[in-house]
Chain A
Amino acid sequence: MSVIRSFIFSLISALLIAAATSALAASSEADFKAAYAAAEAANKEAGTLRNQWTVTAAAMAAAKKAAESGDFEKAVAQSKEAEALAKASIFQATDEKEAWKALEIK
């Protein structure tokens, strides 16, 4: 049961990430700011659930760094990846509220 759940979970996160990293036409600073804000909001929500991922923070840092050097294409892509990761971590926390019981020794 938990194997199926894990599989669905990783499938969803893989799809989210694939969608996030699809090619974009010339991104602007405004695009970056919007994408980064979305990632930040999602990561903040993950924080309230006490379930942030280290890779989310890493993607956000990479996004910021790319924006600083003017590569908004990469900055937007990284922001979207960060948002996808943050959303996956939210999904994990929410799903685990009940799912943990499957692992409990009884």
Chain B
Amino acid sequence: MASTIRVRATSSGETTEVQALIQHPMDSGFVKDAKGEIIPPHFIQELTFEYDGKNVFVADWGAAVSKDPYVKFSFKGGKKGDDLKISWVDNKGATDTTTAKIQ
């Protein structure tokens, strides 16, 4: 199955800019379906970007983040050709991981 994580990391020498688009329903648990029943909460709780064995970005998310979240950030360092590992865990215990090469 295809990864839920799409990522693009570009290094400018000093800093690396990372963009990621993650496919996830991010149901808040406050929305009702057509029958009037609450759609149970289902959202990413932790999102981690790891480079060279260290976490360069960690997000603790909750119900307020929308569906298919998009993240953009920069971190100091990062070389072209190196790996960047991205993983998430949601409130149901599901996870996904992907590794991308910094361009």
Direct contact of A and B (CB under 8 A): no
Residues of B within 8 A of A (CB): none
